[in-house]
Structure 1
Amino acid sequence: MDNPLLDFSGLPRFDAIRAEHVAPAIDTLLAEAEAAVSHAETVAAVTWSSFVTPLEDATERLWRSWGQVAHLQAVADTPELREAYNANLPKVTRFGAALGQNLALFAQYRALATSPEFAQYDATRRKVIDNALRDFRLGGAELDDAGKARFAAIQEELSALSATFSQNVLDATDAFSLHIDDEARLSGLPADVIAAARAAAEKAGKSGWTLTLKMPCYLPVQAYAGDRGLREALYRASGVRASEQGPAALDNSGHVDRILALRAELAELLGFASYADYSLATKMAQSPAAVLAFLRDLASRALPFARRDREELEAFARDELGIDDLQPWDVAYASDKLKQARYGYSGQEVKRYFTEPKVLAGLFEVIESLYGVRVREDGAPTWHADVRFFRLEDRDGRLLGQCYLDLYAREGKRGGAWMDDGRNRRVIATDTLTQAVQTPLVYLVCNFGKGVDSQPATFSHDEVTTLFHEMGHGLHQLLTAIDILPVAGINGVEWDAVELPSQFMENFCWEWARVQAMTAHLDTGASLPRALFDGMLAARNFQSGMATVRQLEFALFDMAIHGDFDAVHDSVAALLERIRDEVAVNRPPAWHRFPQQFSHIFAGGYAAGYYSYKWAEVLSADAYAAFEEAPERLAETGARFLAEVLSRGGSRSALENFTAFRGRPPSIDALLRHAGMAENAA
């Protein structure tokens, strides 16, 4: 095929995709999808095979091709690709909006739901039809013509605003650099960070060292740099990204206000009291009030621990570090020093043991021991030389799925860590009129530092946990046993439950045997000493109170601005300060511009859903407790978790999945115990 975005014969041809391929491919696939929709509207005898399958076939090709474009724009952005993405985004958004509002398709699904055939369907097919009917209502299918037009216009504008929001954060991050000529100012920084800063300076044709706001540089500066002015400089630069304090072209302030206004209008069009109510229509939580009650209950439990954490840190900074006025750019630095004094180790020391080859081998061994599958290196065209590719096989060597692993931060790559699906599991027809299973394909993306001078990369324990987290998302997609696209993998899973498999995987980063197996010191090759691990374990809940209320601050803010927020008589900044009055113990300065960078809710899928991290943490802690209760039955418990949770996808509710695995509804007790915030831990 001349256009790689139109080639569905195998794996994506990422090495061949160019910006000029985007428009022709998307136009072709949109025409195919629109023709399929027109045919589906007129099918006389509506059955699964005559209606649902053909519609899925055509739209899946469009979404898969567009997914490749969106993925490249996130991990290998260029001006040409961004222009092509932004030019085609409105067309794709308009099609999606029209599809969700199509009354003829809505009527066909209703006919299918009331047909004699429906009673013969299994629970999975019935769930697909029920979800479709719900989504048509949420997509504006029941609006009048004027309402439909306005709904579609809102969705199109929101898509464009979200894309711009994310691009502004990326550009503002990439635009900053701080050149250092005095090596003494780098005192305390890890050797690999200094080497990377030196390489960045050389690339720019300079002597000395260049520091950036990318996480592999920014986080170590905040945690380890002895130069307080250096920490403050990077903190300030990071805190005002994409705001009115930088270039006007990258200012997200107006975008925040506009996104909130459009979301509120969209919810009102559909008869919801707020966007939060609209968002929760597809989640486990029953109402915004229920979410707020959950968050505030957790806050009441966490705040005493958070205040104690802050008081201890202030006292240590004053008495041991000579910092009388603990500022935000001192918190990570003082915390690391306090942890080292209290538990006898530092994050830098631990990082030397977590080398990339050992960490990956350890991760794959966990997967194999839990689920009886094997992970093998595989080959595929990629978007960057650093990207690796793997395949998952069952015990008989049959392919279950494949994944790309893109670990390192670089220019043109969006910050953060995420999993996305490139292709989902489904049954497809072949040329021989038989059926075959299309296996899943996922992207696992992180932003870690790359090894320098031919040495392997080393990861902090937090980064190891992040990798396990994203692989948990990947396994949810890769190990699905559901063959019907709308509920296979993470499709159809309530948004506040998608973090269950990911947070569950993090627990295995705290098991001694696992950690011992995945460590080899960069210089000596020795595994992590038990004494050092014991220190890490003792420090596991170090400042867990502060960490918890920080997440609650974000979640409460998200729910509040999408709830009864009055944009006429209030401001986003003022609302955030009131939330901080309620739960925060570490207050950013007044000039900090967090909302302008909050991509999770303004450019991701977490609007009125950020609470799901804590909501799902209840589920994941309780799920892992089943393994703690029967350590001798690891494989048996893993097989049950696979059968009842991972493999089920969205074919039944997340609560049903959890209850089938655990034998009861979820309990918050395990979360509080794991976080050191149980009643007897005060």
Structure 2
Amino acid sequence: MYEFPVFNDKNLDEKVKNVKAVIKKNEKTIKKLLKLENKSFENFALVLFELEEALNFAFQPISHLNGVANNKKTQKALKELLPLLSEYSTKLSQNAKVYQALKEIEQDGALDSEQAMALRLELHDFEMEGVALDKERKKRIAKINSKLSSLENDFSQNVLNDTNSFEIIIEDESILKEMPSVEKAQAQTQKDGKAVYRFTLHQPSFISFMTYAIDRNKREELYKAHVTRGVKNDELMTQILALRDEKAKILGFANFAELSIAHKSAPSVKNVEEFLSKLAQKGKPFAEKEFAELSAFAKKLGLDELFSFDLAYYSEKLRKELFDIDEEHLKNYFESSAVIEGMFLFIEKLFGISFKKAKTKTWNKKAEAYDLYENGEVIGRLYIDLEARKNKKGGAWMDNWTSGSITPKGLKRLPIAYITCNFAPSTKEAPSLLRHYDVETLFHEMGHALHHLLLKSKVCSVSGVNGVMWDVVEFPSQFLENFVYEKSVLKLFAKHYKTGEELSETEINKIIKARNFQAALGMMRQLEFGLFDMRIHKGALDAKSVQTVLDSVRDEISVLRPPAYNKFQNSFTHVFGGSYSAGYYSYKWAEVLSADAYMIFADTGVFDAELGSKMRHSVFSKGGGEDMNKLFEEFAGREAESGALLRLYGFDDK
């Protein structure tokens, strides 16, 4: 029986010491590797990749804890380690002797396709860190990398601090008369011995208030606090963009956008902008129609002009009127544990694999671990942490602790992945109940996790999601999320958490019918983010210029301009604190593949065993060692067609 490592959230100081020890050990090993006379992929490149895996194994739990149990100790640990990790990584990537050894192994030619791709990716990373540059420019890139690592972490921490620091207390219960009882109960607390209701900027609480609170002034108060988070980030944003631009120019690129595209499937920045603009041109008339419909509806209810802080409230009312959807009623059928079990059953039917709960430690009593099995044999482990709580970073994401591969000693290492979300927390009165949108988010992250868990690879650097081009890494995740609108899938888990009653066919049909409600408005918002991200990375912009670019993009894309005080960019952690810089377009770029693949299932059959097997082995079981566009062609027998995306959104030409 395979023994997985046990996640331990204790002894943070020891974990920090261990990371430092691994760095030192790696540096010594690299020196020994360079002394080898007959260097090969097996005795040099593979060992080098394993050093990176060992460092990730040591550091990743610290990074993960900073995301799910953020406190002063985890913040201190990251501040201490990030410069050291940056220094180590840059020093390695600028080592001309290591680069030359890898180059010679590549030119030797005795490599399989996976090994060749792993080498190509590694050599590209070296080139993007200036391995061929002179000493002074190498030193400057090293300083830039170290500074960027710290600035990006500070940017995200500032957003989390602001998220945690604001709350609004509602004493007048009548303001919440339209709010589902479960959500109201989650907000209830005590003040001076009487019941009051506390709402915060954490996603479940924020969405609940913006959707159901009848007091418009209070909605704006919470909205304003949300869109002005990161007030300290103006200067950080300026520095981040300047350093990214400087690094790009040192490496010979016109700007950071060009550097970012250098290892993505998109052929050029121009091509990306044209792609986003064409989608916007197609979608804007539909978005304008949706907004006009919402405005007319709000006017009928007595509101003359819609503002950003009105959208969720009136959209929910309109959705209920058009489709007779009762969100409070529906949530009773999406209890988180039941959804997880149903999702596992769906995956078993689709891919022929199964999950069983694992007995092991986690970082929080609400987090669970599951082992993945195929033909009775364990092939991976998955941690799932769904509920929002203070000191947990917002949003939803998948990350990995280990990559499935074969070590240089011939030992099998199984993959470990995490899914982290921020759904409504459980209470004494009720378990965690999800919105249908939350179910969609969970399936999305599960798509990422499966992509990491299902790969069978010998090389850790291209195992699972490792090495996958960033603008196609969303293909598996966006593919899987589509199935939450399939009747046969919903029937697997949509059961009342108290009675076990199945969600009726009528209610399921309402969910499916409402799928594209305000789809164009949602798409235009994503296109706005993508264009904004790409354009601010064309130079070294200060905070004022960033605002000018955002205003320009909104003039081009938006159908509703937000208030002037909206500083969305100051909390845009995907771009300024994450991995999506000059890459946010990836969501829509990959959706061309995912929409087309899903439509094949929709037309053929959701549980078609042959099709499921083909998708698993053509896409989900392949990692960075393969071209994702070619993998789609292997699955579909043709290139992807953008028409499927338009069809999915309901505004294809008819």
Which category describes the TM-score, using the shorter chain as reference length? over 0.9
After TM superposition, the structure 1 stretch with the greater mean CA deviation from structure 2, 626-635 or 297-306, is 626-635
Aligned amino acid, residue 279 of structure 2: L
Higher mean displacement: 25-34 or 465-474:
25-34
What one-letter code is carried by the residue in structure 2 that aligns with 1:270?
A: L
Give the Cα separation in 2 of the matches to 1:240 and 1:67: 31
Contact 1:351 1:461 in 2 (8 A): yes
1:598-677 alignment, distance < 5 Å: 598-631=572-605, 634-677=608-651
Structure-1-length-normalised TM-score: 0.93
Deviation string for 1:17-74 (max 9, x for gaps)?
3332233112211110111111222222111222123223333211211111111111
CA contact 2:629–2:639 (8 Å) conserved in 1: yes
Shift of 1:337: 0.6
Of 269, 285, 290, which residue of structure 1 is paired with 2:271?
290
Is residue 252 of structure 1 aligned with residue 233 of structure 2?
yes
Q: Deviations along 1:257-289, whole A, 9 cap, x unmatched?
A: 111111000100100111111001111001000
Q: 2:8 aligns with which of 14, 17, 20?
A: 14
Instruction: Please show how residues 529-544 of structure 1 align to structure 2 within 5 Å.
Output: 529-544=504-519
Q: Cα deviations across residues 224-271 of structure 1 (Å, max 9, x unaligned)?
A: 22222221111011111111xxxxxxx111111111111000100100
| Equivalent residue, structure 2, for 1:106 | 99
- Kept in 2, the 8 Å contact 1:426–1:483? The answer is yes
Unaligned runs of 5+ in 1: 1-7, 244-250
Deviation, 1:586, is 2.2
Per-residue deviation at 1:522? 3.5
Provide the C-alpha distance between the structure 2 equivalents of 1:345 and 1:648, rounded to a whole number of angstroms: 40
Task: Please give the alpha-carbon distance, in whole angstroms, between the structure 2 residues aligned to 1:230 and 1:633.
Answer: 47
Deviation beyond 4 Å, 4+ runs, structure 1? 204-207
In 2, Cα distance between the equivalents of 1:625 and 1:182?
48
Instruction: Summarize deviations over 1:292-319 as a string: whole Å, max 9, x none.
Output: 0000010110000000011111000001
Give the Cα separation in 2 of the matches to 1:20 and 1:136: 32
| Higher RCO (CA-CA < 8 Å; seq separation 6+) | 2
> Who is 1:567 aligned against?
541
Report the more deviating stretch, 183-192 or 172-181: 183-192
State which of 420, 427, 431 in structure 2 corresponds to 1:445: 420
1:583 to 557, 562, 573: 557
1:195 aligns to 2:182 (yes or no): no
User: Which residue identity is paired with 2:17?
Assistant: P
1:523 positional shift: 4.3
Letter in structure 1 aligned against 2:5: L
The 1:466–1:46 alpha-carbon spacing in structure 2 relative to 1, beyond 3 Å, is same
Picking from 256, 268, 277, the partner of 2:249 is 268
Instruction: Give the aligned residue type for 1:636.
Output: E
The alignment status of 1:377 with 2:335, answered yes or no, reads no
Task: Indicate how the Cα distance of structure 1 residues 183 and 491 shifts in structure 2: closer, same or farther if over 3 A, else same.
Answer: same
Residue deviations 1:59-106, cap 9 Å, x none? 321121111111111111111221122111101111011111110100
Instruction: Tell me whether 439-448 or 42-51 shows the greater mean CA deviation.
Output: 42-51
Give the structure 1 partner of residue 317 of structure 2. Answer: 337
For the residues of structure 1 that align with 2:12 and 2:373, how far apart are their CA atoms? 34
| Paired residue type of 1:305 | F
Contact 2:387/2:432 (<8 A) preserved: no
What code does the residue aligned with 2:169 have? H
Q: Is the 8 A contact 1:11 1:380 kept in 2?
A: no
Partner of 1:401: 380
1:629 Cα deviation from its structure 2 partner: 2.8
Counterpart-to-counterpart distance in 2, 1:450 and 1:293: 42
The amino acid that maps onto 2:101 is Q
SS in 2 for 1:508: helix
CA RMSD of aligned residues (A): 1.7
Other-structure match for 2:118 = 128
Residue of structure 1 in register with 2:51 after alignment? 58
Preserved contact between residue 482 and residue 598 of structure 2 (Cα < 8 Å): yes
1:208 equivalenced with 2:196 (yes/no): yes
Tell me what 1:4 maps to: none
Match 2:406 to one of 419, 427, 449? 427
- Structure 2: distance between partners of 1:346 and 1:150: 58
Instruction: State the SS of the aligned residue for 1:517.
Output: coil
- Identical columns (%): 36
State the shift of 1:206 in Å. Answer: 7.3
Match of 1:148 in 2: 138
Tell me, what secondary structure is at the counterpart of 2:471? helix
Q: Choose the corresponding residue for 1:527, options 496, 502, 510.
A: 502
1:568 and 1:20, CA in 2 relative to 1: closer, same or farther beyond 3 A? closer
Report the Cα distance in structure 2 between the residues aligned to 1:224 and 1:576, rounded to whole angstroms: 29
* Match status 1:310 vs 2:300: no
* Structure 2 CA distance for partners of 1:161 and 1:512, relative to 1, 3 Å: same
Contact 1:517/1:527 (CA < 8 Å) preserved in 2? no
Q: CA deviation at 1:633?
A: 6.6
| Alignment correspondent of 1:37 | 30
Deviations 1:438-460 (A, max 9, x none): 00001100000122225321100
User: Amino acid of the residue matched to residue 649 of structure 1?
Assistant: G
Q: Which amino acid aligns with 1:63?
A: N
- Aligned partner of 2:526 in structure 1 is 551
Letter in 1 for 2:70: D
- Indicate the residue corresponding to 1:327 in structure 2: 307
For 2:591, the aligned partner's letter is E
Aligned counterparts of 1:625 and 1:31: Cα–Cα separation in 2: 50
Match of 2:98, SS?
helix
Task: Answer yes or no: is the 8 Å Cα contact 2:46–2:408 preserved in 1.
Answer: no
Native 8 Å contact 1:187 1:227 kept in 2: no
Change (3 A) 1:454 1:402: farther
In the other structure, the counterpart of 2:391 is: 412
- Residue 219 of structure 2 aligns with an amino acid whose one-letter code is R
Q: Structure 1 CA distance, aligned partners of 2:73 and 2:544?
A: 40
Choose the corresponding residue for 1:362, options 317, 342, 367. 342
- 1:424 and 1:569, CA in 2 relative to 1: closer, same or farther beyond 3 A? closer
- Distance in 1 separating the partners of 2:488 and 2:615: 21
Secondary structure of the 1:11 match is coil
Aligned length: 653
Task: Measure the CA separation in 2 of the matches of 1:90 and 1:587.
Answer: 40
SS of 2:304's equivalent in the other structure is coil
One-letter amino acid matched to 1:210: R
Distance verdict in 2 for CA 1:632–1:77, change over 3 Å: closer
Q: CA deviation at 1:9?
A: 7.5
Equivalent position amino acid for 1:335 in 2: S
Q: Which of 164, 168, 175 is the equivalent residue of 1:174?
A: 164
Provide the secondary structure at the position in 2 that maps to 1:589.
coil
Aligned to 2:147: 157
Distance in 2 separating the partners of 1:77 and 1:521: 34
Task: Give yes or no for the alignment of 1:594 onto 2:588.
Answer: no
Counterpart in 2 of 1:518? 493
Moved more, 517-526 or 269-278: 517-526
Q: TM-score, normalised by structure 2?
A: 0.97
| Alpha-carbon distance between aligned partners in 1 of 2:326 and 2:528, rounded to the nearest angstrom | 28
Mapped partners of 2:50, 2:114: distance in 1 = 18
Q: Give 1:427 shift.
A: 0.7
Contact 2:160/2:393, CA 8 A, preserved across alignment: yes
Structure 2 letter corresponding to 1:236: K
Change (3 A) 1:444 1:569: closer
Distance 2:142 2:541 in 1: 23
Which has the higher mean CA deviation after the structures are superposed, 599-608 or 625-634? Answer: 625-634
Q: Name stretches of at least 5 consecutive residues in structure 2 with no aligned partner.
A: none
The 1:389/1:317 distance shift into structure 2, 3 A limit, reads same
CA-CA distance at 1:566 after TM superposition: 6.0
Tell me how far apart the structure 2 counterparts of residues 390 and 585 of structure 1 sit (CA, whole Å).
44
Query: Hey, what's the Cα distance between the residues in 2 that align with 1:370 and 1:569?
Result: 48
In 1, distance between residues paired with 2:510 and 2:114?
47
Superposition deviation, residue 220 in structure 1? 1.1
